[in-house]
Amino acid sequence: MRLKLIKGKTNYNFFGKWKLWLGISSTLIILSCVSLFFQGLNYGIDFRGGTTIRTESEITVNVSQYRQALDVLNLGDIVITEVFDPTFRENQNVTQIRIEAQEGDESITASTVKSVEVALSAVDPGIKFPLVESVGPKVSSELVKAAVWAVISAIGAVLFYIWLRFEWQFALGAVLALVHDIILTMGIFSQVQIKFDLAIIAALLTIVGYSLNDTVVVFDRVRENLRKYKKKNLSEVLNMSINETLARTLMTSVTTLLALISLYVLGGDVIKGFVFAMIWGVLVGTYSSIFIAGTALLYLGVKRDWSKSSANKGNKFGNIDA
């Protein structure tokens, strides 16, 4: 007996209430933009600047004990990460501790560093501190710009690829879906004030790839059906294509979510922000690949007869199947 999320062939009318889906998405985008404008993001150390202290110990690192020892110092945002490297000695246990810049200073003061060393030495008397380095606000602002350009470049690459693969209407529909996903993801981070750091930028880029994968599968089926059913209305072809790929889309999303939820529950605090972004991104990405991208195609219109030799005019890559 096989478990099926979608039993048999489906015939849902996804565009019967397209105004409702468009209204829901528009409302969520507006709320996200308002939250980003008035509340902003809770930037982590990567974007605010701070100090990194590297430690070495001959005994196994207990991150929770380190955190308890540092919490009493009231230094704000502290990130403790174990560092693993195959070149390390067998008893070489390395940890990286990042402490946010204190108010009015680009980095923590020498006396604060000393306090951190004393607190950690109480946990592990043999601990060593081989490296202390700081990242100022200027470097952090450059990281913000680099992160923004990374996301914009990814969307631009998607626009170019889909335009080569299909037509400009498909490209615009895919990009609208991606922008929708990114804005809603940043909006939820602004609303719940989860730390926004470089790991979240990595999650955003992963969401772009995931959402694009779902959208391309739907678009590929749309193009196939446009060749087969030249007389049908575009809305009928879109509905048929989405219904035919619905089982695949939902199965991919569910299996991905099962893995992500396990990571969120069992993975610890270090990756929770990244995993939360991915869970949210999978949900909105699945939604947008069905409703946003398809609605954009319905509104923009597409070439109906792909069998003619002129079907690829201005697009020499239109017949690429990979």
Place 316 in a pLDDT band, splitting at 50, 70 and 90.
Answer: very low
How large is the average pLDDT for residues 235-244? 85
182 close to 173: Cβ distance less than 8 angstroms:
no
Whole-angstrom distance, CA of residue 74 vs CA of residue 76: 6
Query: Pairing state of beta strands 50-57 and 93-100?
Result: antiparallel
CATH C-level class of 50-135: alpha beta
Q: What residue spans define the domains of the chain?
A: 18-42+140-305, 50-135
- Confidence (pLDDT) at 317: 40
**Residue 236: how many CA atoms within 13 Å on its side-chain side?**
8
Architecture of domain 18-42+140-305: Up-down Bundle (1.20)
- Confidence (pLDDT) at 140: 62
- Confidence (pLDDT) at 280: 92
Q: Please determine, for residue 189, whether its predicted confidence score (pLDDT) is greater than 60.
A: yes
pTM of the model: 0.73
- Which single residue is written with the structure tokens 């996301």? 151
